[in-house]
């Protein structure tokens, strides 16, 4: 990690491949406009959410150290989050789904440290600190929900993706970046939207990752809790959207009871959601998650699990009934009657037991792939793994014996046994051969001149999942994105506007009371006539100071802005309403 990132005991547990996604927050990069955007959204949200959000939200804001007036400093948040067993890290926008969920499994919130533009104050398709910090963080103060989030990450990071999933991830990331970036061309946005839409419509059979991502969306991001007649908000996407949090409470948004059917309900990240799911309580979320996990290759294994790994064209692992784990890129399976009888990887492969690499069986020992038969021996009811040392001797499965093992599926392994490895229960999990030939009918699968043949022992594939069994077996620090978040050089006009915002912020915080707010208003009207947010901040100060003439001048200007820019009319009205209520939040 960068030296500018403060670590702690929770972050110290992270494996190296996750640390590659972390970046410094660089708090000083937030402008006074950014701070005003945060403050407006939070004041408006908390004012509204105190009646419609789950009770854990407001309590969680205090418990997680999130201020309404200032963008949270993640290092300060971490000092508070550690008391509930969590931490937060900054990242650059979207990161791959498997990595995002793996962070959750380590009790770490991933927070996109950028903040939405003033022009996108109501909603942004890009992850930002309002969504991540003000949306996700408060709810994890609820222990039941926090455990759901952790468990979701633990299961979700093992979900197998398809090759198209990665393409869609990159397309969505690119779209979110250019939609949020200033000065993006409309035709570029339209082109990016079309690419996402085309990919979504041509994904084929949904992968495990696509399905569990749906569950994540309809719970962690856009979940409601309670009853269909009287739901409360807990999803971070709703908690952080000042437009959608209100709209989702109307009858225009269909509400359905949350169950496993949400797995197959797709979503559009670029638009408000027309329907949402309501869970009766947080415990119900875990029940549905376990129901889905029971459908995953992680728990089912078998031929379908191997085929999912082959289709993913990515690093994955299968575990056999003896507990031996084979990690690599799977490219071939031979099957008979719906059962796998031989599996094959391509390129670097590692063998493990209980997530720990077997000594002498890392990628340096298996650089060119690994193949092994699956199943029981033909004509013998007792599987090799269930044989005692006496049984193994009786069937000549013994060191220095030259033998031919014929499996029920037709795989033949012929060679001289060198040695074997056993698991903690004494079951044989690996047998090594010299001068070995492996065949399936007329097809040669392994030749003696290829060296020592290591045969994994197992009658069944009991699990298949994404990623390696032992995280240290492979170099996983290889992530490269096709697009980076766009930060354009600020114009003189923009820098001037930021100066005005900073002056007003300094005045409100008591750092500089010599500033003339009347002069700031005059300069705004002259040089930035459509800027509404700073005008509202000026009105707040005048209103609290009972400066009636200045209030009238500001209200007159706001009416002019509403006439010239009607799309911000509701934002202005809502901001004024909060001030006039003199709500202490």
Q: What are the binding residues for Fe cation?
A: 131, 136, 221
Selection from 159, 128, 140, 138 nearest residue 309 by Cα = 159
d(CA 181, CA 92): 13
CA atoms within 13 A on the CB side of 292: 28
* Residue 423: strand pairing partners: none
Selection from 241, 226, 361, 316 nearest residue 280 by Cα = 226
d(CA 34, CA 47): 20
Q: Which residues of 491-516 are buried (b: 16+ CB within 10 A; e: fewer)?
A: eeeeeebbebbbbbbebbeeeeeeee
Question: To which residue do tokens 């009918």 refer?
Answer: 441
d(CA 349, CA 371): 10
Q: Which residues of 227-246 are buried (b: 16+ CB within 10 A; e: fewer)?
A: eeeebbbbbbbbbbbbebbb
Selection from 129, 119, 251, 234 nearest residue 571 by Cα = 119
Q: Which two tokens stand for residue 267?
A: 């979503």
At 224, give phi and psi (nearest 5°).
Answer: -115, 155
d(CA 75, CA 111): 12
Question: To which residue do tokens 């903690």 refer?
Answer: 424
d(CA 311, CA 221): 28
Selection from 500, 574, 485 nearest residue 534 by Cα = 500
d(CA 39, CA 33): 10
Give yes or no for a contact between 473 and 161, defined as CB atoms under 8 angstroms apart: no
d(CA 181, CA 174): 11
Q: What are all long-range contacts of 509-517, with beta carbons under 8 Å and residues at least 24 apart? A: 517/541, 517/542, 517/550
Residues at the binding site are 131, 136, 221
Selection from 239, 215, 29 nearest residue 133 by Cα = 239
d(CA 98, CA 112): 16
């Amino acid at each position: 990690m960068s030296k500018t990132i403060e670590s702690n005991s929770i972050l110290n547990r992270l494996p190296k491949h996750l640390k590659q996604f972390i970046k410094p927050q660089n708090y000083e990069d937030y402008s006074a406009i950014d701070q005003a955007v945060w403050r407006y959204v939070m004041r408006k949200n908390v004012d509204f959410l105190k009646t419609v959000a789950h009770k854990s939200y407001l309590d969680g804001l205090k418990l997680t150290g999130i201020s309404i007036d200032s963008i949270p400093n993640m290092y300060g948040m971490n000092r508070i989050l550690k008391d509930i067993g969590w931490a937060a890290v900054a990242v650059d926008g979207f990161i791959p789904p498997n990595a995002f969920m793996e962070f959750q499994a380590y009790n770490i919130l991933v927070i996109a440290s950028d903040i939405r533009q003033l022009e996108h104050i109501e909603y942004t398709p890009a992850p930002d600190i309002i969504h991540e910090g003000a949306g996700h963080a408060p709810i994890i103060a609820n222990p039941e929900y926090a455990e759901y989030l952790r468990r979701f990450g633990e299961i979700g990071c093992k979900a197998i993706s398809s090759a198209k999933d990665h393409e869609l991830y990159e397309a969505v990331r690119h779209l979110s970046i250019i939609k949020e970036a200033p000065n993006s061309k409309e035709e570029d946005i339209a082109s990016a939207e079309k690419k996402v839409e085309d990919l979504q419509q041509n994904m084929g059979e949904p992968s495990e990752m696509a399905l569990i991502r749906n569950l994540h969306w309809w719970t962690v991001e856009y979940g409601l809790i309670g009853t269909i007649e009287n739901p409360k908000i807990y999803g971070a996407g709703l908690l952080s959207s000042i437009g959608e949090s209100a709209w989702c409470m109307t009858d225009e948004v269909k509400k359905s009871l949350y169950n496993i059917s949400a797995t197959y309900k797709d979503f559009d990240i670029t638009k408000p959601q027309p329907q949402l799911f309501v869970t009766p309580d947080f415990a119900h979320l875990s029940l549905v998650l376990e129901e889905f996990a029971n459908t995953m290759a992680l728990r089912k294994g078998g031929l379908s699990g191997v085929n999912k790994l082959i289709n993913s064209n990515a690093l994955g692992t299968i575990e056999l009934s003896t507990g031996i784990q084979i990690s690599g890129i799977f490219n071939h399976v031979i099957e008979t009657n719906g059962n796998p009888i031989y599996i094959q990887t391509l390129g670097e492969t590692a063998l493990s037991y209980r997530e720990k690499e077997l000594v002498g069986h890392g990628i340096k020992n298996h650089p060119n792939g690994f193949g092994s038969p699956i199943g029981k021996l033909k004509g013998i009811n007792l599987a090799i793994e269930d044989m005692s040392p006496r049984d193994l001797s009786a069937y000549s499965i013994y060191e220095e014996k030259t033998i031919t093992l014929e499996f029920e599926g037709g795989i033949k392994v012929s060679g001289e046994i060198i040695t074997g490895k056993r698991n903690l229960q004494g079951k044989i999990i690996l047998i090594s051969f010299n001068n070995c030939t492996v065949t399936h009918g007329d097809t040669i699968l392994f030749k003696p001149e290829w060296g020592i043949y290591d045969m994994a022992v197992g009658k069944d594939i009991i699990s298949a999942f994404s990623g390696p069994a032992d995280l240290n077996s492979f170099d996983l620090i290889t992530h490269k994105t096709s697009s980076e978040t766009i930060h354009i050089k600020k114009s003189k006009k923009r820098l001037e506007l930021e100066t005005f915002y900073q002056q007003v912020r300094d005045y409100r915080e008591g750092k500089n009371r010599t500033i003339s707010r009347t002069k700031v208003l005059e300069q705004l009207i002259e040089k930035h006539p459509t800027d509404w947010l700073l005008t509202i901040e000026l009105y707040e100060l005048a209103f609290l100071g009972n400066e009636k003439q200045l209030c009238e001048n500001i209200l007159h200007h706001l009416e002019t802005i509403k006439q010239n820019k009607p799309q911000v009319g509701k934002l202005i009205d809502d901001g004024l309403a909060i001030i006039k209520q003199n709500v202490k939040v």
